[in-house]
Chains A and B, each alone.
Chain A
Amino acid sequence: MNLFNDFEDLKLDVLKEVGNIGAGHAATALSRLLGKPIDMAVPKVQMLPFEQIPDKVGGAEQVVLAVFFRVEGEAPGNLFFIMTPLAAKKLLHRLAGLDVIQDDTFSEMEQSALAEIGNILAGSYLSSLADFTKLTMLPTVPALAMDMAGAILSYGLLQFGEMGDDALLIDTTFLEGHHEVEGQFFLIPDPHSFDKIFASLGVPLTNDR
């Protein structure tokens, strides 16, 4: 997939900014919900072999809680909001005042609340991106799963799977001061969305295309 072989620095910077703006707005939304400041790490933009992508959240067998959105519109892609089960429990306790039972299961009520929180955050992530790029990007209804990271994330790699064995991932971590509530946003735009994002932001296309 020579599309991404020489992703120039400029393009990577643009994608970092895309992650920055999206996750920045989502972090602000979360901070308002919690009434606490939320910090955000500098987004990482990397072209990674499929095998290494689950390593970003602790390995293929690590159990994570994920809210998944298929992004539809002019620049389609896959968006994941990922937390450890423990962080999710803490978030529920803080936010919804739910009396959480400290075990590995989530009740219907808890799952529904987490999907809704994910929905709010993804909505602000995508609407800020849509404003920035002037492209429509709409999330589907949220789908929630708690399972092995490999099993969950492979769902976001199918579109790249037809093109090669690597995928481009925009990864942003945010955390609350005491590291109690931590989460990650993974945006994996579909391969053909990149040209649209770059064109819309005025990044010159490489001459080999």
Chain B
Amino acid sequence: MIDEHNIVKVGMADLNVVQNSGIIRTTGLGSCVGVTLYDPALKIGGMAHVMLPSSDIAREGTLNIAKYADTAIPALLEQLQKLGANKERIVAKMAGGSQMFTFAGSGDSMRIGPRNVESCKQKLEQLGIPVLAEDTGGNYGRTIEMDCNTGILFVRSVQMGVKEL
């Protein structure tokens, strides 16, 4: 198993980066989306735990840029670039964005998972970052971790077990 001290944790509405031999993980993704960016040449990886699709709806005083898809992804990219990552090499993976509860005639806030996924994809496309793999949608929670040595993203869920992306 991997040493616990090598694990960088990303909270809800949070982002972080890790280099070389580290593991970066976030737990309990429901409608939230975990987006990872990775530069395979330098083994630099970053992860954001995105909660809401767009910062347009924000009514908070100081904006938490890690919370919204449209602000978290550029901020994460910037952090990778600060560590020397080359944007031309950076690739993305994503997981989460499920719909945990379904109601008849459910409103827009109930569709938040799929909207988060759409918004992340849109932002990545704008930035010209290819999405190599994704495990999104469904109606179950996920915990994800990326091994920054290999760029492999492990997606674990209660019902589906572990998937490798």
Contact = CB atoms under 8 A, between A and B. Distances in A.
Contacts of B140: 147, 151
A115 to B, nearest CB: 11
A147 B100 contact: yes
Contacts of A150: 12, 27-30, 141
Interface residues of B, number: 35
Contact of B101 (A54, A68, A161, A163): A68
B33 to A, nearest CB: 11
Interface stretch (A11-19, A35-43, A124-132, A137-145): A137-145
A195 interface: no
Given A143-B103, A158-B112, A1 B60 contact: yes
Contact of A147 (B51, B58, B64, B141): B141
B139 A145 contact: yes
A50 B61 contact: no
Contacts of B29: 150-151
Task: Determine the main DSSP class of A at the interface with B.
Answer: mixed
Interface of B: 11-14, 27-32, 51-52, 57-61, 64, 67, 98, 100-104, 109-110, 112, 139-143, 157-158
Interface of A: 1-2, 50-51, 54, 59-61, 63, 68, 70, 140-141, 143, 145-152, 154-155, 157-159, 161-165
25 contacts: A1-B61, A51-B12, A59-B27, A61-B28, A63-B158, A68-B100, A141-B104, A145-B100, A145-B101, A147-B158, A150-B141, A151-B29, A151-B30, A152-B30, A152-B100, A155-B31, A158-B52, A158-B109, A158-B112, A159-B109, A161-B51, A162-B58, A163-B59, A163-B60, A164-B60
